[in-house]
Amino acid sequence: MPLFTPAERRFAEGVARLTCTNPFLPERIDAERAALGPDFVAGAGPVWSAAPGDERVSPNVERLSRRVAELADRARDRLAHATTASDSAAAPAAGAPADAELALYEDLVLYLLYDRHAAHRFPAVLADEERTGRPPRLPFYDEFVRDARRLLEPPGRRLAAAADLPHIFACFFQIRRAFHHIFAHLVGGSMPAARLRAAAWQSIFTHDMRRYRRTLFSRMGEFATLVVGPSGTGKELVARAIGLSRYIPFDARAQVFSEGAAGSFHALNLSALTPTLIESELFGHARGAFTGARTDRKGWLEICRPLGAVFLDEIGETEASLQVKLLRALQTRIFTRIGETAPRRFHGKLIAATNRDLAGEMAAGRFRPDFYYRLCSDMITTPSLREQLAEAPGELDLFLRFIARGLVGDEADALAAEVKEWIAARLGPDYAWPGTVRELEQCVRNVLIRREYLPPVRHPSADPGAALHGALDAGTLTAEALLRAYVTRVYAQTGSYEETARRLALDRRTVKAKVDPGLLAEFRRRPTTP
């Protein structure tokens, strides 16, 4: 007999899609809608995003949980019956489940196991992430194994996923930990914010969750991640979410993870240090290597554990000599301390960030192309506050509440309303927020203390037209960056969203969302290179 009825099969296919869907894109909600059909509860929005003080579980997730548990039990009983019938005959029964049905059943079981154990048990473990020393023992792993074996090893059959339950348990924990760090810290309900969360998720798991579980879980540290975007847009938050969400193996015999997440993320702001200090911090030094080097010292590349990450902020400001040394460390995983010749290995993951236009920096000869191409195998662009508000003006309320909640706690709503009223009266709805979210935070603090905020005065920078031409010649602009720059340049010439949209054959709303206020100001201050 078939393992699923036609209606059950449609539901199981929807659940299978959910097991490998990026949770931060609209496709996650679409998959829930496809699986639940008429039982889907609308109104939650096109993407998952955090709201201040709202910890409610989605009603669709709750409905999925109930239906998955019921269907998994029914399918298990049918599978056991089909196996018994096949074993009792000289040849396999004609109604034995096909491989496609078994694969659907396995996805259904994995969804159920994650829901029962990762969603309900692992939050208690997340609270111990900052604990130093040996990770805590997790005796509920025994319950997970019993549940998994009951579902994955029905009488007379053993599905492939049952072969490595410690690995599945570790993957479940990593998924829950990654979701926590991304969902809680990369906030915003706009599509630019959703795309940022989705990009961080892909940096951790790639776009193919099944391949990640099979092969890539132990190799993602080999890929450097480059986070680019304006200052104040949360690049370190993105880096931290990725760095704290790496795969950690689980020791089933001892019932502990091989290490904890505490102390696994090492951040270094390169713009705050001299070149010598940067080298010392990164690579370490031998005693007597330079004035003040009184003892041997390990650098962050040496301290970083194999499952850890080193974050280098403001990578665009490094000198050429340091770029060469970092390039070698990334290519060969070998480096030396200052004043030594003995090779040492870097085992962790490198994450770098910059607010500079690296294409322009390469065109000007200040940033090495070979170093850039070593960094950009995985690149994330953080959206500006202006970009998010252009698409979803109501996001200002959300950001104000998040910032106010950290400042005044229970009085957050009142402070957010006060700041919003002040912004509307003094800055207006079209204020560009050149300092992005960081500027908005300072605005909230200023209004809280003085009921006043003075926006910064922007100073002209290098010729934006020349920088754009240099980036085009170097061939290093992403499609998104190229579109934003070109739309901004045409808008600077026309001064009209409608005319720009007509010239570029784009929708007016797209043009409005793509215009970069900071770049627009530079185009208007300086003549562009013809």
User: Which whole number is the average pLDDT over 461-481?
Assistant: 66
- The number of folded domains in the chain is 4
Domain-ending residue, one of 94, 129, 159 = 159
Domain-ending residue, one of 128, 159, 190 = 159
Are residue 27 and residue 149 in the same domain, yes or no? yes
Range of 83-97, 401-415, 515-529 with top mean pLDDT: 401-415
The residue among 416 and 515 whose pLDDT is bigger is: 416
pLDDT confidence band for 462 (50 / 70 / 90) = low
Residue 231 CA from chain centroid, whole number: 18
Is the model's pLDDT at 528 over the cut of 60?
no
Question: ∠ CA(25), CA(27), CA(28), 5° rounding?
Answer: 80
For the chain, give the mean pLDDT. 86
Question: ∠ CA(501), CA(504), CA(505), 5° rounding?
Answer: 75
pTM listed for this prediction:
0.81
For residue 116, the one-letter residue type is R
Give residue 212's pLDDT.
96
Give the DSSP letter string of 31-68: HHHHHHGGG----S-SS---BTTB-PPPHHHHHHHHHH
Instruction: Please state, in angstroms and rounded to a whole number, the distance separating the CA atoms of residues 55 and 62.
Output: 14
For residue 344, the one-letter residue type is R
Q: Are 155 and 84 in contact (CB under 8 A)?
A: yes
| High-pLDDT (> 70) share of the chain, % | 87
| Boundaries of domain holding 346 | 235-381
The model's pLDDT over 475-494, given as tens digits with 9 standing for 90+, comes to 656 677 788 888 988 988 88
Are residue 347 and residue 424 in the same domain, yes or no? no
The residue among 173 and 58 whose pLDDT is bigger is: 173
User: Which whole number is the average pLDDT over 249-275?
Assistant: 88
Is the model's pLDDT at 383 over the cut of 70?
yes
Q: Residues near 221 by Cβ (< 8 Å), separated by ≥ 6?
A: 246, 306, 307, 309, 347, 348, 349
Residue 336 lies in a domain: yes
Q: Is the dihedral of CA 458, 460, 462, 466 positive or negative?
A: positive
Give residue 199's pLDDT.
96
Is the model's pLDDT at 271 over the cut of 90?
no
User: Which whole number is the average pLDDT over 414-443?
Assistant: 90
| High-pLDDT (> 90) share of the chain, % | 47
Is the model's pLDDT at 93 over the cut of 50?
no
The model's pLDDT over 204-243, given as tens digits with 9 standing for 90+, comes to 999 999 999 999 999 999 999 999 998 889 999 999 999 9
Domain-ending residue, one of 98, 131, 159 = 159
Are residue 520 and residue 475 in the same domain, yes or no? yes
In our burial notation (b when 16+ CB lie closer than 10 A, e otherwise), range 273-284 reads eeeeebbbbbbb
Are residue 488 and residue 514 in the same domain, yes or no? yes
Are residue 468 and residue 424 in the same domain, yes or no? no
